[in-house]
Every structure is written in C-alpha cells, then in structure tokens.
Amino acid sequence: MTPPACGGVGVGCTKIEEYHYILKRRLDNAFERRQILSIFINSMKYHPFLRAIHWLMFILFTILFVLGATMIEFKECEPWARYNFHKSTGVLVLLLVFLRLLIRSRTSIPRPLTTPVLLQRVARIVMLLMYTLMILVPISGYALSNVHGYGVKFYGLPLPNLFPTHVAWETFSSAIHFYLAYLFLICIAIHIVGIIWHHVRGRELLRRMS
C-alpha cells in the first residue's frame, strides 16, 4: 500500500520520508499492542490494594502462627509481651480482612480458571472457609482472652472487653481458638497445593496476586 502524501499537503514522499512514515506506523502499532497487552494482563490481576493486603496478611498470619505455637515456651522478663503482640496483630488482621472484603466488593476480580467442575467447587469451598476463618480465628482469640479475664490491647491502646469473664468457658474458648486456627492452617496448605498444581500445568495463577 502506498503511504499518503507526506505532511498531508499532497506533496510526494521521498524514499526516506516513506521509510520514516512506515517506521512511525510500526512504532505506533507496537505501542498500541503494548497498551492492549497491558490492559489484558491487568484485567487478569487483582486490584493492587488487594494484592498488597494479601501479602501483608500472609506475613502477619505467619507471625501469628509462629507466635501461637512457640510463645508459651519462651521465658521472658515480661511474660506477656509475646501474648500482647500476638493479640494486637490478631486485631490488625481482623481489620485488614474487613478492608480486603470492602475493596474486593468494589473492584473487578479475574475470571475463574477453566478447570473441572469438581475442582471449581473445592476451590470455592476452600476460599469461603478461608475468609470465614480469617474472621473467626481473631474473634475467637479475642473471646479467649476476655473469658480468661484478660483484656486486649491494640499495640498499647486498650480495647473494650467484648466477652464476659467466665471460668466454665475457659477450656471451651481455648479449644475453639486452637482448632479454628489449625483448620485455617489446613485450608492455607490446600490453597498452596492448588496454586502449585496449577503452576505445574502451565497456569500462572500466582501472577494474579503478584
């Protein structure tokens, strides 16, 4: 195809001007393709705030699990320091869950991967359980502290006691928090296994949160 007159004034193009025109068109097309590709890639990712909260919560939950499993074994000058940090971080995680749900409800999310119906159902159940436990585990920890007669502080800021002190409920509240936490840990393990399974099959699922 012969390019249009140079400058749009009806003057014939020299060879150099023709090459310049063709090169410009190719660069414009390449830029457009990059824009389209960028839009397509972004449409396959979660909102940047959701991605940031996801990884922040992953770090915080790792800290919570490590503290929950080990803090009883540590002997410190201030015995409750690790407990207070554990409880404060639990409150922070609970606040982040609600913020995450708010952002998720107001932003678009990537389409589900094309997988067998059974796997889709399992993935939905695990995800629903994870969100439910992200709320229940911190609340059960808050209740555990109040039932045993201890308050909760948010990094030094005293919070109200939402549950009554009740000796008869101490064992029950401890068991609830313990089993909910480990059920959540199992769900996280299933979630990670699912991501690895998709990755092995060439589906870059992790890129949605990166």
Please write the tens of the pLDDT for every residue from 52-101: 999 999 999 999 998 888 876 555 545 568 888 999 999 999 999 999 99
Task: Please state, in angstroms and rounded to a whole number, the distance separating the CA atoms of residues 141 and 70.
Answer: 16
Query: What is the residue type of 12?
Result: G
CA angle in degrees (0–180, nearest 5) for 63-68-72: 125
CB 48 within 8 A of CB 56: no
H or E segment and range at residue 125 = helix 117-147
Task: Please state, in angstroms and rounded to a whole number, the distance separating the CA atoms of residues 108 and 44.
Answer: 10
Instruction: Look at 112 and 4; give whichever has higher pLDDT.
Output: 112
Q: What pLDDT is stored for residue 82 in this prediction?
A: 83
Q: What pLDDT is stored for residue 1 in this prediction?
A: 46
Please write the tens of the pLDDT for every residue from 143-195: 999 999 999 999 999 999 999 998 889 899 999 999 999 999 999 999 899 88
